[in-house]
Structure 1
Amino acid sequence: MTPSISAEDEAVELAADLIRIDTTNTGDPATVVGEREAAEYVAAKLTEVGYEIEMVESGAARRDNVFARLPGADRSRGALLVHGHLDVVPADPSEWSVHPFSGAIQDGCLWGRGAVDMKDMVGMTLAVARRFKRDGVVPPRDLVFAFLADEEAGGKYGAGWLVEHRPDLFAGCTEAVGEVGGFSLTLPDRQGDPTRFYLIEAAEKGMAWMRLRARGKAGHGSFLHEDNAVTTLAEAVARLGNHRFPIVLTDTVRELLDTISEVTGLEFPLDDLEGSVRKLGPLSRIVGATVRDTANPTMLSAGYKANVIPSTAEAVVDCRVLPGREAAFEREVDELLGPDVTREWVTHLPAMQTSFEGDLVEAMGAALRAEDPDARAVPYMLSGGTDGKHFEEKLGVRCFGFAPLRLPPELDFASMFHGVDERVPVESLRFGARVLDRFLRTC
C-alpha cells in the first residue's frame, strides 16, 4: 500500500500554487480577477480524492465559492465550519523583493500576496481535507469546508451573499474556525525563559465604512465664499481623524493582558495602557488597536475644475468599533461632524465576541501543545474583520480565528498583512498543518 502523503508535505505546495493564481480583489467587481480560477483549483483537488463538492457563484459573475462536507462520527453534534477566503488585496510588483504572485520559496519562507492572508490557511485546510479523505478519517463531528470569495471587500459577493441566499450550505454548523488566530507571540517569562503564547481570535471589532457628505454653494473660485463644501468637509474630517476615542477594556483583551502579565510579570496599567502595550513588540499594533474605537479617513472626493467651487464634497472613513460600543461611537461621531455634514454607512458589519472556554477551545489548545509542549493558548481581539461576522450575525455560529503558526520571535508578523514582501516561514506552515490535522481529528 502506498503510504499516505502527510498534510504538512502538501500544505506548502498547495499554498504556493494558490499564490500563483492572481485573485486580486480591488473592491470593484469589474476589475476583480482570479477567484473562479482559484475555486476551480480547489474543487479539482477535493474532487480528486473523492469529495462531492458544490461550487456556487455568489451574486456576481465569476465570484465562486467551493463547499465540501466530511461526515463525522456523531451526526447529532453541531457541524464545524472550516472557512477560508480565496481573494487577496492588490500588490504592486515594483515594490516587492520577489513577484507577489510567484509563490517563491526562498530564505526559508513562502513569499507572495496571500502568504498570510490567507492562502497559507487555505493550503493547510485543503491539505488536511485531502488527507482525511484519502485515509478514511472520520472526524468526531461533521466538517464543512468552505473556500470563499470577496472577503477582502466585506463579503458582499461571498459570505454575505451566501448566508442570505444559500444558508443550506451551512446546515447544522454551530461553530467555526477561520483566519487570523493561532499564531505565536514569544515573550520572556518571569525567569527570563521564552514563552510562546498562541493568540486565538475570540473577538473582532465591528467594521463600518462611512461616507461623509457636505453641501455648499457652487461658485467661481475667485470670489469670496463663506459656504464652501470642501472647507466644511475638510474641517469635519480633520476633527474626526484627530479624535481619540476612550479606552475600553473588553473581556477578551483583559483576559489576554491578564494572562501575559501573570506569566511574564509585565504590567498593563489602565492609566498608560497604550504605552504599556508597546512591550508586546510588533504585535502591539494589533493589540493596541483593540483598546479603543478608531475612525480613520481614507478617501476624499470633491470638485471637477480648479476655478469652480463645488456644491458637494465627500469623504470615506474606515471605522472599527469595539463590542458594545456602537451606540456611544455613533453619538461621538455625530458630535464631531456637526450639523453640516451628513453620514451614511457604506459597509456595516457588527463586532463579535465569544467566551474563551468550552470543548472547542480545549481542542485547539491541546492540538497546539501536542506540537509545542510550551504552548500557551490565549484569546485576543482582531482589530480588522473576517467572514466570521456574517456567520455569527445571520446564522448564530460561534466563530474563532485559528490558523496555527509557530513563528520566529523576530518576525514582524503584523506587518505581513496587506504589506509589501508578505511571506510565511515554511516551517511555520508545516507546523500549522500538523496542528490543524490534530485539531480536526479531535474537535
Structure 2
Amino acid sequence: MADSPTPTPTPTPVPAADERDRPAPAAPEGPVDATALDEVVTFTSELIRIDTTNRGGGEGHERPAAEYVAERLAEVGLDPLLLEKSQGRTNVVARIEGADPTAEALLVHGHLDVVPADPDEWRVHPFSGEVSDGVVWGRGAVDMKDADAMVLALVRAWARAGVRPRRPVVLAFTADEEDTASFGSGFLAEQHADLFDGCTQSIGESGAFTFHPGDGRRIYPLAAGERGTGWMTLTAKGRAGHGSKINAANAVTRLTAAVTRIGEHRWPVRLTETVRAGLTELARVYGLPLPDLADPDPERLADSVDRLLALLGPAAELLAPTVRNSANPTMLDAGYKVNVIPGSATAQVDGRVLPGTEREFAATLDRLTGPDVGWEFLHHEIPLQAPVDSPTYATLREALLHFDPGAHVVPYCMSGGTDAKQFSRLGVENYGFMPLKLPEGFDYQAMFHGVDERVPVSALHFGVRVLDRAIRSL
C-alpha cells in the first residue's frame, strides 16, 4: 500500500461563545423522584453482585444479569426480549413508544459484561456491590452497570409518572462488549436489525463524566467519536535450529526487531473534526491563543498541537491520546525450549485508528514489520465520528450545564471503542453520554478495568436527572 498521509479534514465550525452559552429551551419538569434515586443505587449494587465476567474467547455468561434487567422492565409494563447467539450470552432489547409517532427513534445502549477482577487485589470483594460511605463498590461500578442502572431507574420513573419521551426509545443491554461484541451488539446488528428500525441516533457509554484538571474548573468530555480497533497478530518465520548455532534467520530476532520498531514509532498528528473542535474549545476555556489546526505542513502542525497540549496541562489528557494513531505491542509467544531456535514466533499488537487514516495505518504497519514479518488483523472495527455542531450535541450539552452550571463541556474522541461501532452499521450515529458528576480527586478513567472500581451515590443521582432531561429534550 502507498504510504501517503491522509488529508487533514475541513474544520468543524464551533458555535460562537454567545451561541454556546445561550440556554436551550427548558425541558419539561422531570419525573425523577425519590424512588428513582433509591432504585439507581439498588440496581447498581445488585447488578454488580451478578458476576458477568467476560474472559474473552467466547467465555462469558450474562444471562442472570439480562434476566434481572428484563424483570425490572417488565414490572413497569415493557415487553423486553431476551436474545442469544449462544447459550448464556444474553442480550435484552425493549422499546418505549414516543409521544411523537413520526419522530426518529433514539437507541440507548449499555453492556452487561465486565472484565475480570482478582479479589485479592481489592479492598472490598469486586462482586460484593457494597454500598458504604456514599459509594457503590465493585466491578462494573463505572464500566458500566452504573449506566445500566441509571437507564433502568429512569424508564421506571417515566412509567410511574405516565411520562413518555418525544421520540421512540429503543433500549439495548448487551453481552460481550468487553471482547469482540460478536455475542452482543454485533449479533444484534446482524441478526435482529429490525428491532432497531427507525433508530438514527444513539447514546452510549463513556462520555459526560466530570474531569477535574486541578485548577478549579469542571470539564465534561462529551464523546462524539471513537478510534477504530486494530488488534493484530504478527508472525515471523525463520530457520529452526540448535540454540548453540549462529542463525541469521532467527524468527525471534526478526519478530522482536519488528515489535521494537512498532513500539518506538512516533505516529504523525492527524486531527479529526471532533478532536479539532475539542482543542478549540479547551483553548477557549483556558484563554489560550489557538494555532492553525488546519496547517497543511505536518511537522508544523505537530509542533503546534504539542505546544497547545503542553499549555493545557492536565486537561490535555482528554485529547492527547486521540491526536494520533497508536500501536502498542502487548503479547509475545515463541519457542518451547531454551536450546531450540523456533521456526516461527508471534506477537499481538493493540492498534487504534482515527477516522480517515485506515489506509495510512495499514501502510505504516507494512513498513514497520518489514519483509520478514507478516501481520493480519485479529479483530478490526471501524472508527466513528459524530457532528459536534448538531442540535443533538447542543441538547446533551445543555442538559449537563443545567445541572452543573459553570462547568465546561468539551467534545472528545474516545481512544478505545464501544458497542456504537456495531450499531453504526445500521446507520445509527452515536454520542458517548452516560453522565456522572464526580468529586475532585476521583479518577474516573483509572476506574475502567482498574482495582477498587467504585462510583459515588451522588453521581448516580446526577446521572439519572441529566439523562431524563437530555432524552426527553432530544
What TM bracket, shorter-length normalisation? Answer: over 0.9
Determine which of 248, 254, 258 is the counterpart of 1:232. 254
Tell me by how many angstroms 1:426 deviates.
1.4
What amino acid maps onto 1:198 in structure 2? Y
Q: Is 1:201 aligned with 2:228?
A: no
For 2:391 and 2:271, the matched residues in 1 are separated by 26
2:272 maps to 250
Deviations 1:301-359 (A, max 9, x none): 11222222211111110000111111111111111110111111111001111111333
Q: Residue 279 of structure 2 contacts residue 319 of structure 2 at CA under 8 Å; is this kept in 1?
A: no
Tell me by how many angstroms 1:258 deviates.
1.4
2:40 maps to 11
For 2:333 and 2:356, the matched residues in 1 are separated by 32
Aligned residue runs from structure 1 range 21-60, under 5 A: 21-29=50-58, 31-33=59-61, 35-57=62-84, 59-60=85-86
Q: Is 1:138 aligned with 2:164?
A: yes
- Calculate percent identity across the aligned residue pairs: 51
For 2:269 and 2:135, the matched residues in 1 are separated by 37
SS of the residue corresponding to residue 147 of structure 2 reads helix
What amino acid maps onto 1:100 in structure 2? P
Q: Classify 1:45/1:372 alpha carbon distance in 2 versus 1 (closer, same or farther; 3 Å).
A: same
Determine which of 412, 426, 436 is the counterpart of 1:395. 426
Q: Residue 100 of structure 1 contacts residue 113 of structure 1 at CA under 8 Å; is this kept in 2?
A: yes
SS of the residue corresponding to residue 16 of structure 1 reads helix
1:379 maps to 411
For 1:176 and 1:209, the matched residues in 2 are separated by 25
Aligned residue runs from structure 1 range 182-221, under 5 A: 182-186=208-212, 194-221=216-243
Q: Residue 202 of structure 1 contacts residue 379 of structure 1 at CA under 8 Å; is this kept in 2?
A: yes
Q: Is 1:156 aligned with 2:182?
A: yes
What amino acid maps onto 1:292 in structure 2? R
Q: Residue 286 of structure 1 contacts residue 414 of structure 1 at CA under 8 Å; is this kept in 2?
A: no
1:425 maps to 456
For 1:286 and 1:390, the matched residues in 2 are separated by 24
Q: Classify 1:82/1:280 alpha carbon distance in 2 versus 1 (closer, same or farther; 3 Å).
A: farther
Q: Is 1:345 aligned with 2:411?
A: no
Q: Residue 48 of structure 2 contacts residue 128 of structure 2 at CA under 8 Å; is this kept in 1?
A: yes
Tell me by how many angstroms 1:95 deviates.
1.1
Q: Classify 1:267/1:429 alpha carbon distance in 2 versus 1 (closer, same or farther; 3 Å).
A: farther
Tell me by how many angstroms 1:440 deviates.
2.0
Deviates more, 1:60-69 or 1:409-418: 409-418
What amino acid maps onto 2:453 in structure 1? E
Deviations 1:3-28 (A, max 9, x none): 96543221111011111111111112
What amino acid maps onto 1:239 in structure 2? R
Q: Classify 1:403/1:283 alpha carbon distance in 2 versus 1 (closer, same or farther; 3 Å).
A: farther
Q: Is 1:88 aligned with 2:119?
A: no
Q: Classify 1:96/1:286 alpha carbon distance in 2 versus 1 (closer, same or farther; 3 Å).
A: farther
Tell me by how many angstroms 1:275 deviates.
6.2
SS of the residue corresponding to residue 438 of structure 2 reads coil
Q: Residue 12 of structure 1 contacts residue 429 of structure 1 at CA under 8 Å; is this kept in 2?
A: yes
Determine which of 451, 457, 466 is the counterpart of 1:435. 466
Q: Residue 292 of structure 1 contacts residue 322 of structure 1 at CA under 8 Å; is this kept in 2?
A: yes
Q: Classify 1:434/1:280 alpha carbon distance in 2 versus 1 (closer, same or farther; 3 Å).
A: farther
Q: Residue 7 of structure 1 contacts residue 437 of structure 1 at CA under 8 Å; is this kept in 2?
A: no
Deviations 1:220-245 (A, max 9, x none): 22222111111111110111111110
Q: Residue 286 of structure 2 contacts residue 312 of structure 2 at CA under 8 Å; is this kept in 1?
A: no
SS of the residue corresponding to residue 364 of structure 1 reads helix
2:296 maps to none
Determine which of 418, 433, 444 is the counterpart of 1:413. 444
Unaligned runs of 5+ in 2: 1-31, 292-301
For 1:40 and 1:285, the matched residues in 2 are separated by 38
For 1:262 and 1:378, the matched residues in 2 are separated by 10
Q: TM-score, normalised by structure 2?
A: 0.87
For 1:360 and 1:183, the matched residues in 2 are separated by 18
For 2:169 and 2:378, the matched residues in 1 are separated by 34
Tell me by how many angstroms 1:164 deviates.
0.9
Q: Residue 318 of structure 2 contacts residue 412 of structure 2 at CA under 8 Å; is this kept in 1?
A: no
Q: Classify 1:254/1:104 alpha carbon distance in 2 versus 1 (closer, same or farther; 3 Å).
A: same
SS of the residue corresponding to residue 184 of structure 1 reads coil
Tell me by how many angstroms 1:410 deviates.
2.0
SS of the residue corresponding to residue 319 of structure 2 reads helix
Determine which of 324, 345, 349 is the counterpart of 1:317. 349
What amino acid maps onto 2:60 in structure 1? V
What amino acid maps onto 2:126 in structure 1? P
Q: Residue 4 of structure 1 contacts residue 135 of structure 1 at CA under 8 Å; is this kept in 2?
A: no
Q: Residue 405 of structure 1 contacts residue 432 of structure 1 at CA under 8 Å; is this kept in 2?
A: yes
Q: Residue 283 of structure 1 contacts residue 413 of structure 1 at CA under 8 Å; is this kept in 2?
A: no
SS of the residue corresponding to residue 430 of structure 2 reads strand
What amino acid maps onto 1:105 in structure 2? V
2:147 maps to 121
Q: Residue 60 of structure 2 contacts residue 176 of structure 2 at CA under 8 Å; is this kept in 1?
A: no
SS of the residue corresponding to residue 200 of structure 1 reads strand
What amino acid maps onto 2:280 in structure 1? D
2:402 maps to 370
Tell me by how many angstroms 1:375 deviates.
3.5
1:259 maps to 281
1:404 maps to 435
Tell me by how many angstroms 1:284 deviates.
4.2
Deviates more, 1:278-287 or 1:364-373: 278-287
What amino acid maps onto 2:109 in structure 1? H
For 1:100 and 1:296, the matched residues in 2 are separated by 28
Q: TM-score, normalised by structure 1?
A: 0.93
Q: How many residues align?
A: 433
Unaligned runs of 5+ in 1: none
For 1:89 and 1:123, the matched residues in 2 are separated by 18
Tell me by how many angstroms 1:377 deviates.
2.6
Q: Residue 201 of structure 1 contacts residue 402 of structure 1 at CA under 8 Å; is this kept in 2?
A: yes
* Cα RMSD, aligned residues only: 1.9
For 2:261 and 2:248, the matched residues in 1 are separated by 19
What amino acid maps onto 1:386 in structure 2? T
Q: Classify 1:121/1:279 alpha carbon distance in 2 versus 1 (closer, same or farther; 3 Å).
A: farther
